[in-house]
Amino acid sequence: MAPPTESFQNQHPSIHYLLLAIAVLACLLPFAGSAFKVDDTLFLYVARHIAKHPLDPYGFKVNWYRDAVPMAVETKNPPLASYYLAAAASIFGWSERALHLAFLLPALAVVLGTYRLAQRFTNSPLLAAAATLLTPGCLISANSVMCDVSMLALWLWAIIFWIEGIEPQKPAYLITSALLITLCSLAKFFGIALIPLLAVYSLARQRRLGNWAWYLLLPILVLTGFQYWTKAVYGIRMITSAGHVSTGIRQERQASTLAKLFVDLSFVGGCMLPALTLAPLLWTRRKILIVCALSAIAGFLLATGQIGLGGILGPPHFYHHSLSVGIHLTLFIAAGSSVMALAVADAWKRKDANALLLMLWVIGTFIFTGFLNWTINARSVLPLIPAVGILLARRADELRATSIRWRPALVALSLAAAGAVSLWLTWADSELANSARTAAEIIEQRTRNQPGTVWFTGHWGFQYYMEAFGARPVVLDDPPHRPGDFLAVSPQTSLFEIRPNFVTSTDVIRIPMRLGITTIQGELGAGFYSFDSGPLPFAIGPVPAEDYKLIQLGTKPVLEASPNDLPPGTPSL
């Protein structure tokens, strides 16, 4: 396949690779000591078990909500990322810094892979890679030990080897791609989407079914074997089980199709922030005004509850912040609409296999996130970010020679603005994660010399750090009841209601959030990890402190289950 222009060979890629690697390290190294967060805990549990039982990754139980259940039932992710964690920990240890540094490798592979792939699609691969890195979706996901960035790295390099190996056909490249597709799918089941995506791309490129189709059988056979293995060992077919759980949760929520569409656009736009900051350079003023007007209507209908989200916010608790939420939604929905327009317009104009690949990549991820996954979240949006970065660069190629508004300095400023907000948000997300670690440390100090057992409700990073010092998660059928026991309660957790006359003391551990931006805050409508918390991937505004309670129980306490005891983030696809 011929490169777009002769300038393809004259872009000094080695210098660009070095600059991009330095940029990745500069963006992520400051957060290497961040606390574990969200579903990091589940991946760490699996990794610790793998370290002892490498052929039995899910052979244990975990109490994530109300009771101990088999990990194969609780998790909805394949084990590859946890194997990587276990391997890294065996060399560098289990500390936060060591494991975050180990996960810099997948982040580097994503950004450098975007550049390598973009070289075949655009004359501006550096713009594509920078627009991928400087996003909330990429930076925050990379500051975790979950599977998402690892999956995306394998996804990108699978596409690279496939495109470079299909014409003229290079069997070694196609075999490598097939192996990467398999590993991608075993990092996160979304990787299975590569099989139809590359099949359609290949058909569009060659106009016939070729020998390349045989290579796609490898991931199909391995994943079929994985299904049979998990059924034989754990009693469930994990891939189909994840799909059934996702379907059941979506049906329970009963959010309207229109609401999911707008929230999906909001998450795409907010996670791919350069699509917003570059919009004045990409579109005419008239188009921007029309899209913003329509986005404002949609955003304020959501913010004021006129379009139902299926009661998941029950009812939305951000009503008194509806103006702020509406403004955020207007901007994010407009940016998300820009992303969709870029994909469709590029395919319409070029009508080639490359444009089709990018459009299906973006729209397929969009459909999965909004209408097939168990929830709308930034982690599900992440796979489309490199494709959008390439689309932005292709749009830049078109405008560079024709638009008087196109100036390299303005592009740099727009990317810098997106990067500044993304780093600010990554800092705030790290602050939020650190609050759970700090609270657990304080609780340990206050209960260290006390005779009672320490129990807790809440999960995510809080569970990891509480269990690290020996605290026990509450079991619904056998709640804490002995006098002198302690119950630690994380923010927004109401698993139990305790009668006041059975409480000896209650301490509130208040940890302020000072950065004025957040990924998780129901009052502000921010739900980066699940739209259960709100229709925004993030929100700017006054962020309430995180309040952790430490309750000491008195004589014969009676704890009653609360009706709203299911926190956001149930499974993770």
| Integer Cα distance of 565 and 568 in angstroms | 10
How would residue 3 be classed by pLDDT, with cut points 50, 70 and 90? very low
Q: Does the structure show a pLDDT above 50 at 393? A: yes
- The token pair at 565 is 């005891």
| Contact of 122 with 4, CB cutoff 8 Å | yes
End-to-end C-alpha distance for the chain, whole angstroms = 35
Contact between 148 and 184 under an 8 Å Cβ cutoff? The reply is no
Domain extent listing, the chain: 6-427, 428-561
- List b or e across 390-406, with b for residues whose CB sees 16 or more CB atoms inside 10 angstroms: bbbbbbbeeeeeeeeee
- Are residues 357 and 197 in contact, defined by beta-carbon separation less than 8 angstroms? yes
Give, as one character, the DSSP assignment of residue 529.
Answer: T
* Cα distance between residue 379 and residue 373, in whole Å: 11
**Residue 291 clears pLDDT 60, i.e. is over it:** yes
- Interatomic CA distance for residues 236 and 233, integer angstroms: 8
Burial category of 46 from C-beta neighbours within 10 Å (exposed 0-12, middle 13-18, buried 19 and up): buried
**Above 60 in pLDDT, residue 568?**
no
Percent of the chain with pLDDT over 90: 77
- Give the three-state DSSP class for 555: coil
Tokens of 410: 């303005």
Bridge partners (DSSP) listed for residue 510 = 547
Taking only the tens place, the pLDDT of each residue in 104-155 is 999 999 999 999 999 999 999 999 999 999 999 999 999 999 999 999 999 9
Which residue, 252, 347, 335, 328, is CA-closest to 288?
Answer: 335
Among residues 38, 36, 110, 42, the alpha carbon closest in space to that of 79 is found at 42
In this structure, the number of other CB atoms found within 10 A of the CB of residue 224 comes to 12
pLDDT bracket for residue 501 (50, 70, 90): low
Helix or strand holding residue 462 (H, E) = helix 460-468
User: How much is the pLDDT for 41?
Assistant: 97
- Counting beta carbons within 10 angstroms of the beta carbon of residue 327, is it exposed (0 to 12), middle (13 to 18) or buried (19 or more)? middle
In angstroms, the CA 167 to CA 352 distance is 15
145 with 36: CB under 8 angstroms? yes
Contact present, 371 and 364 (Cβ < 8 Å): no
pTM > 0.95: yes or no: no
Both tokens assigned to 502 = 């059975």
* Residue 43 and residue 81 in contact, taking contact as beta carbons nearer than 8 Å: yes
Report pLDDT digits (tens) over 528-562: 999 988 999 999 999 999 999 999 988 654 455 45
Q: Which of 116, 149, 111, 113 has the alpha carbon at shortest distance from 130?
A: 111
How far is the C-alpha of 87 from the C-alpha of 105, rounded, in Å? 13
Give tens-digit pLDDT for 340-388.
Answer: 999 999 999 999 999 999 999 999 999 999 999 999 999 999 999 999 9
Confidence check: pLDDT of 101 > 50: yes
Could you tell me which residues come within 8 angstroms of residue 119 by beta carbon, excluding any fewer than 6 positions away? Answer: 3, 8, 11, 13, 125
SS3 168: coil
Per-residue pLDDT, averaged over 496-516, amounts to: 84
What is the per-residue pLDDT for 407? 81
Band of pLDDT at residue 66, cut at 50, 70 and 90? confident
pLDDT at 205 over 90: yes
What is the Cα 234 distance to its own chain's centre? Answer: 27
What CA–CA distance (Å, rounded) separates 337 from 332?
A: 8
Average pLDDT in the 402-419 region?
86
Beta bridge partners of 63: 68
Tokens 């870029």 belong to residue: 342
> Which residues, 6 or more positions from 97, have their beta carbon under 8 angstroms from its beta carbon?
32, 33
Query: Is the model's pLDDT at 240 over the cut of 60?
Result: yes
CA–centroid distance for 288 within its chain: 28
| Residue for token pair 């502000």 | 524
Asked if 76 and 572 touch (Cβ cutoff 8 Å), the reply is yes
- The 3-state DSSP class for residue 78 equals coil
**Preceding omega of 168 cis (within 30 degrees of 0):** yes
By percentage, how much of the chain surpasses pLDDT 70? Answer: 90
With CA atoms as reference, report the closest residue to 527 among 309, 368, 328, 376: 376
